[in-house]
Chains A and B, each alone.
Chain A
Amino acid sequence: DAGITQSPRYKITETGRQVTLMCHQTWSHSYMFWYRQDLGHGLRLIYYSAAADITDKGEVPDGYVVSRSKTENFPLTLESATRSQTSVYFCASSESGRDNQPQHFGDGTRLSIL
């Protein structure tokens, strides 16, 4: 009963480096999401995916790239990290796109960019 797991839990990197955050879910949920959580802003949607090979932008997509070749995985890549991307990143999944469906969140990745 793993649910949704994110890795790594903590990451420190330098500006300009590429970094990939991993997200894996065991429920075969169709929808997956990436959020960032910053003080005073709550959670903001970066990218989402409705199914394998279908992705779309959220509120704050600039500087991020996603892919979804398999239903269970939804990695998030920062191609050239900047200090403003220091944040806590959460991956979530939901069974469908209906708005009464719960989103199930991972425990987050705390990313620091120096």
Chain B
Amino acid sequence: TQLLEQSPQFLSIQEGENLTVYCNSSSVFSSLQWYRQEPGEGPVLLVTVVTGGEVKKLKRLTFQFGDARKDSSLHITAAQTGDTGLYLCAGARGNFNKFYFGSGTKLNVKP
């Protein structure tokens, strides 16, 4: 079983629509990261959130860390075709930079 559950697994939307991706767990994490991965490439870090309730914005992307540090969400406003990719959340537990990854949300934004 995955420590982090992401939903939905797949999302296909039209350009201009809004969407939210969820990352949930029953475990507490010291920090949570979101990555985006394109086909044939490694994941690239988008953001790190470390404080319960923290909200970070990256242009049209808004990331939130749950108050109890067990969950997170990624909201994209007015999606663009360039947002297409696999979005992965990763939570840190333990004494060092050991991250547990969710299984990912595959986003397809159609023109």
The residues of A with any CB-CB pair to B shorter than 8 Å are 31, 35, 40-45, 48, 50, 58-59, 90, 92, 94, 96-108
Contact = CB atoms under 8 A, between A and B. Distances in A.
A43 B6 CA distance: 13
B20 to A, nearest CB: 19
Contact of A94 (B31, B95, B97, B103): B97
Contacts of B2: 41-42
Contacts of B33: 102-103
Given A31-B96, A99-B96, A100-B50, A105 B44 contact: yes
A42 B67 CA distance: 25
Nearest to B89: A42
A35 B98 CA distance: 11
Interface of B: 2, 4, 6, 30-31, 33, 40-45, 48, 50, 88, 90, 92, 95-104
Given A99-B31, A100-B31, A107-B40, 9 more contacts: A31-B96, A40-B103, A42-B103, A45-B99, A48-B98, A99-B30, A103-B33, A103-B45, A105-B43
B106 to A, nearest CB: 10
Contacts of A99: 30-31, 50, 92, 96-97, 99
A101 B97 contact: yes
28 contacts: A35-B101, A41-B2, A41-B103, A42-B4, A42-B101, A42-B103, A42-B104, A43-B43, A45-B98, A50-B96, A90-B42, A90-B43, A97-B95, A97-B96, A98-B96, A98-B97, A99-B31, A99-B50, A99-B96, A99-B97, A99-B99, A100-B31, A100-B48, A100-B50, A102-B48, A103-B45, A105-B43, A108-B41
B65 to A, nearest CB: 12
A98 B97 CA distance: 5
Q: Which 10 A-B pairs have the closest CB atoms?
A: A105-B42, A97-B96, A99-B92, A42-B101, A43-B101, A102-B45, A42-B103, A99-B31, A97-B97, A99-B30
A65 B61 CA distance: 39
A4 B17 CA distance: 35
A42 B98 contact: no
